[in-house]
Chains A and B, each alone.
Chain A
């Protein structure tokens, strides 16, 4: 989804006559906040700042790899026309509790230069790629100069997987000031015997933020030299979530199971998450209910529920609900591993109309993390746990059960230990 204000009607799939009658006042489309206004205001605020081809500011640091034209993709730095501590603009780990206005505001300020390269350039990086790789190694903002071929367009790229990306134009020149690198990331970069997945996991264990790993991964900074590749930002987000969680799950399988059912809850940006951890061996499922008038359920009258699950043995196909499945799996696996316990995990997510824009799976990762950091309610039986989980949700019991493999199992399948 990519848009300017002019084609916002089309993007949000709202009939123009509804918008005309509403003008962001009467909430006729059912959303509590007008998505077109959120974007328009962000554009309006940033417009005077982007009417040029020359920018100097502090990169958070940020980079972007497009997927159009793959395997020849656009890469480039993100630089806002602002100097100072801009880290938060590209650090989703700090966005929990921020509003749509805040997040879209951060993203619109990040001007993106783009230049086409082949994904295999990571095996032997040219000047721009090397500079971007160095930029991605920095733990803090870097002052830089960005020269573009023309004035950036006023577009915002929205996707379920990645955070929004803002105005862009072909890159002429990018000159960062001297970069001090995070030595941990730098070591992994130069270690060409480590596989990409070993490098990512080692850095994750060392406390490097997932969003920074995703940036470095997208620029093909890890792995044996002949295997390095540039990876579009969208794919790299899920690749890192998936890879790190898989390695955590292998560890979890060696831990004792929890002793009771635990139910967690957290809401953010009109997304509600109820999580049930069961005292069983590892299994995982996520179900998402998109309410009418949310991005992926515009025309229906009823919430649309979709999800996917994996058994103890994992999965071999890509999850039906894409990146959100892996983002939540990472948050769960991370928590279980940190408390050195094993459990079956079910994530129930409700997306209500206040979730006016798709802003990326970081929202899922961070909200599930926040939910699991809270004290859970504990229950002896599945039935009690499910009642507790439902108390914060609006979808009815039978509708969840119709879709959820694990809910069906828990309520219908007996265990052999009951007969021993």
Chain B
């Protein structure tokens, strides 16, 4: 039984672990010959992360059969923080319920943590079709979220044929940020049907801050009063972090 995955730097692992840490306490990575996947919903069942990291994204990848590697995310993040920016990272598992992390840049450092028994049950993906799709510059999107957060704890996305408007409202006031087609912040936009939905900023900011570090753009897809899907690229070989967020609903 072998599982070995090596990356040139710790960047991608750090992003993956921090993204997961914003939603769950323990993470079950599935290792197969094709690569690593991970899927989990947050305890409130409001958000979901779906990670795909194909074997081509690794400098070395070896997996003889399906491995389920469950770790306490906090422990995992703590170890990864010890990796320097130029350290290569090798993650390894065998038959002994331990996960080995090796960092190397000059000399080698090796850590082992206990794998734990997973308490999460399989998570199906929501069945969705999307009316609107935008590709936003990651840094601009993060700014927009921060802007609206000064006023509200939720954000409304309203997409029309030629622009998207981000708004926030609370007892203290309102914020409105319209971005038109052709603006640098908005790389592309397709609107099949005008769409309007509201989402929790706390979730959005957590995820964009964590996963956004991996990429310069974010793909957002949604329909009116339906969940939002965001896609962040992980590396340049097809890896991606997909994030789903249930909408807030107007009170009846």
Contact = CB atoms under 8 A, between A and B. Distances in A.
Interface stretch (B37-45, B52-60, B76-84): B37-45
Interface in B204-252: 226-227, 244, 246-251
A415 B226 contact: no
Interface residues of B, number: 25
Contacts of A283: 43-44
B48 interface: yes
Interface string A386-414: 00000000000000000000000101111
B143 interface: no
Interface string B114-145: 00000100001111100000000000000000
B43 A415 contact: no
B47 A416 contact: yes
- Chief secondary structure at chain B's binding surface: loop
A416 B250 CA distance: 16
B25 interface: yes
Interface string B33-76: 00000000111111110000000000000000000000000000
Contacts of A416: 41, 45-48, 126, 227, 244, 246
B43 A282 contact: yes
B200 interface: yes
Contacts of A409: 44
A280 interface: yes
A318 interface: no
Contacts of B246: 413-416, 418-419
A311 B43 contact: yes
Contacts of B43: 280-283, 311-313
A420 interface: yes
B15 to A, nearest CB: 20
Interface string A233-254: 0000000000000000000011
Contact of B248 (A311, A413, A418, A420): A413
- Output the residue of A253, A413, A414, A417 with the most chain B CB within 10 A: A413
Contacts of B25: 312-313
A414 B244 contact: no
A415 B123 CA distance: 13
A252 to B, nearest CB: 12
Given A313-B25, A411-B251, A414-B248, A420 B44 contact: no
Given A419-B226, A419-B246, A413 B46 contact: yes
A272 B44 CA distance: 28
A272 to B, nearest CB: 25
Nearest to A342: B43
Contacts of A253: 119
A312 B21 CA distance: 12
A311 B248 CA distance: 18
A419 B227 CA distance: 8
Interface string B191-202: 000000000100
Nearest to A402: B171
A281 to B, nearest CB: 4
A418 B48 CA distance: 13
A409 B199 CA distance: 11
Contacts of B126: 416, 419-420
A30 to B, nearest CB: 29
A302 to B, nearest CB: 16
Contacts of A412: 248-251
Nearest to B200: A413
A413 B246 CA distance: 7
Given A411-B251, A414-B246, A419 B127 contact: yes
Nearest to A415: B45
A282 B42 CA distance: 12
Nearest to B128: A419
Nearest to A419: B126
Nearest to A280: B44
Interface of A: 253-254, 280-283, 311-313, 409, 411-420
Interface of B: 25, 41-48, 119, 124-128, 200, 226-227, 244, 246-251
Given A283-B43, A311-B43, A416-B48, 5 more contacts: A312-B25, A312-B44, A414-B247, A416-B126, A420-B127
In order of increasing CB-CB distance, the 7 nearest A-B pairs are A312-B43, A281-B43, A419-B126, A415-B45, A414-B246, A412-B248, A416-B246
20 contacts: A253-B119, A281-B43, A282-B43, A311-B43, A312-B42, A312-B43, A312-B44, A313-B43, A411-B251, A412-B248, A413-B44, A413-B200, A413-B248, A413-B249, A415-B45, A416-B47, A416-B227, A416-B246, A419-B226, A419-B227
